[in-house]
Amino acid sequence: KAGVTQTPRYLIKTRGQQVTLSCSPISGHRSVSWYQQTPGQGLQFLFEYFSETQRNKGNFPGRFSGRQFSNSRSEMNVSTLELGDSALYLCATRQDPSTGELFFGEGSRLTVL
Amino acid sequence: GENVEQHPSTLSVQEGDSAVIKCTYSDSASNYFPWYKQELGKRPQLIIDIRSNVGEKKDQRIAVTLNKTAKHFSLHITETQPEDSAVYFCAASRPGGGADGLTFGKGTHLIIQP
């Protein structure tokens, strides 16, 4: 079956702009988590959605937001982009929050100039 | 919230030798401890995980040990091979994911020297 699909794979924005990233989970997976990956900081948790509800959120400013649709697809949005937002944004899905294994997408690489 | 510390940040071993990566966690309520491997330019993938009711788990050349009292867990890779070269991440979470989701360590870059 198809894996986790993230779009776009690469994008370049300028400071102050906003960006929307999309994640389509594996069929049957209703939990979608988002992580920011930067060199030296590893994988930092942004938020997790399950059944269209945000069930937890990491330590990121309110400029980072997300949502989940009825088909489990998820989007995350970053407004008023800063240089420090340049990173690889990874989406990870699982059947539900009690299921252990996360399946990651290939990520969306955001560069802010 | 949960805090996961991972050491070392870089580990270089000779092909055929063993490699050990160590992690500590802060939240005593955490009960799920997975390890992910990320090859260069690829997505992280689960290689092994352990729950707090088990002290050790093995899968061929890899094993994970957990010490709940000391709140640390380790990944052991024996007979290392070139394809083991990658960044390895440990992680911890509470039952059902908890408020912080899955908290990852900062990663260990494992280099296998031929």
B69-102 tens-digit pLDDT: 999 999 999 999 999 999 999 999 987 766 667 8
Mean per-residue pLDDT, A8-14: 97
Residues 77-96 of B with CB under 8 A from A: 89, 91, 95-96
The 10s digit of each residue's pLDDT in A41-83 is 889 999 999 999 998 888 899 999 999 999 999 999 999 999 9
Q: Does A56 touch chain B (CB under 8 A)?
A: yes
Residue percentage of chain B with pLDDT more than 90:
85
- Measure the CA–CA gap between A68 and A30, rounded to whole angstroms: 9
Cβ of A104 within 8 Å of Cβ of B99? The answer is no
Mean per-residue pLDDT, B61-68: 96
The 10s digit of each residue's pLDDT in B4-54 is 999 999 999 999 999 999 999 999 999 999 999 999 999 999 999 999 888
Query: Cβ-count burial of B93 within 10 angstroms (0-12 exposed, 13-18 middle, 19+ buried)?
Result: buried
pLDDT at B98: 65
Look at residue A38 and give its three-state secondary structure.
Answer: strand
